[in-house]
Amino acid sequence: MTALLNISRRIDALNEFVGRWVAWLVLAAVLVSASNAVVRKVFDTSSNAFLEIQWYLFAASFLLAAGYTMLRQEHVKIDVVLSRFSKPTQIKVEVFGIVVFLFPLVIAVIDLVVPLVIKAMVSGEMSSNAGGLIRWPVYALVPAGFALLGLQGISELIKRVAFLKGLIDDPTQKKGVKTAEEELAEAIRAQAEGARK
């Protein structure tokens, strides 16, 4: 299990690195968008390439940060329902979700999209818009993002099994401040407990 936990730490480090760098793509998209608006207003000209690069940057930030989001425990969960169960039961439900839903989804998406990426690369597919960009780089973001998400799924699975064996602390605990969702779940839980008394 120690070797698996080392693999998990390496996957976490990879997604942490990718997530921190991908965040800068949002700034890049904002700068491209602002520049495009200024050029369009001042010089009365524009290019579809500016619009498409914004979409590419958004796609990259969204897709490549999926694993990072999972690492940070920020994906949508059914905490209001799960919070009624014991922590081991919650972890078992998450293990089930990772194995039965996440992994098949990741495999299916990569399997379906990789041929499209290869086809677009070989054919040199371009956007149909005048001045548009080549398409394969943005297509390639899909399997890359899902691969990072799948890797993080492996890491999360390892951590949850290790927790169930008593080898590590609760891997679902977020480091830092509570999110709005956590505060809402606590308020609902407190209200329900108050109603029982």
Query: What are 105-126's pLDDT values in tens digits?
Result: 999 999 999 999 999 999 988 8
Average pLDDT, the chain: 88
Binning pLDDT at 50, 70 and 90, where does residue 177 land? low
pLDDT for the residue 10: 96
Give yes or no for residue 176 having a pLDDT over 60.
no
Whole-angstrom Cα distance, residue 71 to residue 79? 17
Q: Which residue has the tokens 């921190």?
A: 20
Residue type, 74: E
Give yes or no for residue 169 having a pLDDT over 90.
no
Q: How confident is the model over 74-86, as a mean pLDDT?
A: 80
Lowest mean pLDDT among 31-40, 98-107, 109-118: 31-40
Whole-angstrom Cα distance, residue 182 to residue 185? 5
